Amino acid sequence: MRRVAPRVRFAPSPTGYLHVGGARTALFNWLYARRHGGTFVLRIEDTDVERSSADMVTGILEGLRWLGLDWNEGPEVGGPHAPYFQSERLDRYRTAASQLLTAGHAYYCYCSADRLREEREKAEARGEAWRYDRACLSLSAEKVSELEAAGAPRAIRFKVRTGSTGFDDQVKGRIEFDTAHIEDFVILRSDLYPTYHLSVVVDDIDMAITDVIRGDDHISNTPKHVLLFEAFGATTPRFAHVPLILGADKKRLSKRHGATSVTEYRRQGYLAEAMVNFLALLGWSPGDDRELMSMNELVESFSLDGISGGNAVFNTEKLDWMNGQYIARLPVDQLAKAVEPFLGEAGLWPPLVSGIDQAWLHRLLDLLRPRAKRLTDFVDLARPFLVDTVEFDPEAIEKHLSTSGLAGHIAALKGTLDTAIPFDEPHVETAVRGSAAERGIKPGVLIHAVRVAVTGRTTSPGLFEVLALLGKARTIARLDRLLLFLATRS
Ligand code: GLU
């Protein structure tokens, strides 16, 4: 059977940032839509007015855009089912609730919160789970008039039918349930705001959603939704509940495990492409052992069959590894664009030192990138190259600047380096090794000391490349500074 192109949705509640779990759900929906030539709808579920905020909406949109998850319908782009904010669809939910009342699928409930709480407590004291006792289903007409006359607040409850029902979850398989375990849940509160169950189902119907792909924390809600779809006489979408994301300690991923918001990962120097690749593999696999996959490859390989039933573990080392792989492969002009804001924030870019241009920055980034896992790593790695004078690490001084006769060796090296023409890697290497041989010392003595002179540190990329990149003038100036330092120490 040829199915119509799917319509899927990502439906965040803007009560928090776009977190890793939400981003992964959005990505799976997006990939599914792209794979099958479908439509990806973004719907903002902001009926909880107190906990929702416009800032959170902005943050969510920004996070999705950063990851490259553009939506076909939704905020800012509009679409045939607008508005895509639930707070702007309240009348629709009220009408839908009335429709269920009229059809006998729902009824008014006048029970006070106090009564419900008391009944629940009593049941709990008996060791029983309490479900709404349908007290308001059998109210006499007089009682109803009395309550109405007194202006008693009334909610609307869904009348759960007897029997059983179920759905074929695309990840978990068939799920059957006995409706005896489901209470007559509220669909419209006394303040006329819908509960999540009502608004989500009404919107999924109105927006012609064919497939609901969401976190499996919603799996216990789905039976209620299936009953609602049925009561509305609508086709039930297919469901796919994706497994939770756990931290390394196998507990549900939370702030305790570090960053959970997608924007935070961006700030920490992860590339969007790496983040997407990593998120895609959280609970999904292409069915072979591929790990590094571009967005196009993900789209081509994505299927709900590849989603594992078990929970996925968020492994930060793997993310770092993956990010390093993307940093290593990124075209250098794009890498520069990505790194510049981080350098800028550290006051290192635009450069304070003259003679540094884009082409030079590209050479520097190529030199440093094998050592970077995150874009933020470039700040520390690039610092010695972008400042006028470097500070010597105490450890480096101790280790490499106490060789006796060092000042003489360095002074001699300066002379040899001056003859390195052009001042490129092979000529620099010849000069350093030649100078060491002439002085009767191991090249390592010079290499280590010069590294401290030019970077302040005990480690750096290959020294000859470093010197060639710094250029003759800056190298000689740093050697002079080393000589000054040695002179003041002795
Ligand atoms: N607004 C719900 C949430 O953020 C989404 C529900 C759904 O996908 O059905 O958890």
Using one digit for the tens of pLDDT, what is the confidence trace for 50-76? 999 999 999 999 999 999 999 999 999
Looking from the CA of residue 200, the nearest atom of ligand 1 is: 9
More confident residue, 250 or 323: 323
Pairing of strands 211-215, 164-169: unpaired
Joined tokens for residue 163: 């029997």
Joined tokens for residue 127: 């060791």
Q: Is 45 touching ligand 1 by the criterion CB < 6 Å?
A: yes
- CA-only gyration radius of the chain, Å: 32
Does the annotation mark 143 as catalytic?
Answer: no
CA distance 359 to 381: 18
Averaged over 210-216, what is the pLDDT?
Answer: 97
SS3 of the chain:
CCCCCCEEEECCCCCCCCEHHHHHHHHHHHHHHHHCCCEEEECECCCCCCCCCHHHHHHHHHHHHHHCCCCCEECCCECCCCCCEHHHCHHHHHHHHHHHHHCCCEEEECCCHHHHHHHHHHHHHCCCCCCCCCHHHHCCHHHHHHHHHCCCCCEEEECCCCCEEEEEECCCEEEEEEHHHCCCCEEECCCCCECHHHHHHHHHHHCCCCEEEEEHHHCCCHHHHHHHHHHCCCCCCEEEEECCEECCCCCECCHHHCCCEHHHHHHCCCCHHHHHHHHHCCCECCCCCCCCCCHHHHHHHCCHHHECCCCEECCHHHHHHHHHHHHHHCCHHHHHHHHHHHHHHCCCCCCCCCCCCHHHHHHHHHHHHHHCCCCCHHHHHHHHHHCCCCCCCHHHHHHHCCCCCHHHHHHHHHHHHHCCCCCCHHHHHHHHHHHHHHHCCCHHHHHHHHHHHHHCCCCCCCHHHHHHHHCHHHHHHHHHHHHHHHHHHC
For the chain, percent of residues with pLDDT exceeding 90: 94
- Please choose, from the candidates 175, 283, 186, 158, the residue with its C-alpha nearest in 3D space to the C-alpha of residue 223: 175
Distance 308 CA to ligand 1 centre (A): 20
Cβ 66 vs Cβ 98: under 8 Å: no
- What per-residue confidence (pLDDT) applies to 228? 98
Residue whose CA lies nearest to ligand 1 atom number 6? 11
Averaged over 325-354, what is the pLDDT?
Answer: 96
Instruction: Check whether 376 has a pLDDT greater than 90.
Output: yes
Using one digit for the tens of pLDDT, what is the confidence trace for 115-143? 999 999 999 999 999 999 999 999 999 99
Distance 314 CA to ligand 1 centre (A): 21
Averaged over 196-201, what is the pLDDT?
Answer: 98
- Please choose, from the candidates 419, 463, 461, the residue with its C-alpha nearest in 3D space to the C-alpha of residue 445: 463
Contacts of 396 (CB under 8 A, 6+ apart): 451, 452, 456, 457, 458
Distance 253 CA to ligand 1 centre (A): 17
89-242 in CATH: which number?
A: 3.40.50.620
Instruction: Check whether 1 has a pLDDT greater than 70.
Output: no
Q: Is 201 touching ligand 1 by the criterion CB < 6 Å?
A: no
Cβ 478 vs Cβ 407: under 8 Å: no
Joined tokens for residue 107: 């009824």
Distance 123 CA to ligand 1 centre (A): 30
Looking from the CA of residue 15, the nearest atom of ligand 1 is: 4
Residue whose CA lies nearest to ligand 1 atom number 5? 11
Residue ranges per domain, the chain? 89-242, 394-489
Distance 13 CA to ligand 1 centre (A): 7
Looking from the CA of residue 45, the nearest atom of ligand 1 is: 1
Angle at 238 between CA 293 and CA 296, to 5 degrees: 15
Q: What is the residue whose two structure tokens read 């078990």?
A: 310
Q: Is 214 touching ligand 1 by the criterion CB < 6 Å?
A: yes
Distance 259 CA to ligand 1 centre (A): 21
- What per-residue confidence (pLDDT) applies to 466? 98
Contacts of 427 (CB under 8 A, 6+ apart): 420, 421
- Please choose, from the candidates 306, 309, 322, 317, the residue with its C-alpha nearest in 3D space to the C-alpha of residue 247: 317
Mutate to test the pocket of ligand 1, among 9, 13, 226 (most ligand atoms within 8 A of CB): 13
HSE value, Cβ hemisphere, 13 Å, CA-based, for 242:
29
Distance 148 CA to ligand 1 centre (A): 34
CA distance 18 to 286: 25
- What per-residue confidence (pLDDT) applies to 451? 98
Instruction: Check whether 3 has a pLDDT greater than 70.
Output: no
Which one of the listed residues 122, 250, 251, 255 is annotated catalytic?
255
- What per-residue confidence (pLDDT) applies to 479? 98
Instruction: Check whether 2 has a pLDDT greater than 70.
Output: no
Using one digit for the tens of pLDDT, what is the confidence trace for 243-296? 999 998 999 888 788 778 999 999 999 999 999 999 999 999 999 999 999 999
Instruction: Check whether 326 has a pLDDT greater than 70.
Output: yes
394-489 in CATH: which number?
A: 1.10.10.350
The average confidence (pLDDT) of the chain is 96
CA distance 227 to 158: 9
Q: Is 56 touching ligand 1 by the criterion CB < 6 Å?
A: no
Q: Is 11 touching ligand 1 by the criterion CB < 6 Å?
A: yes
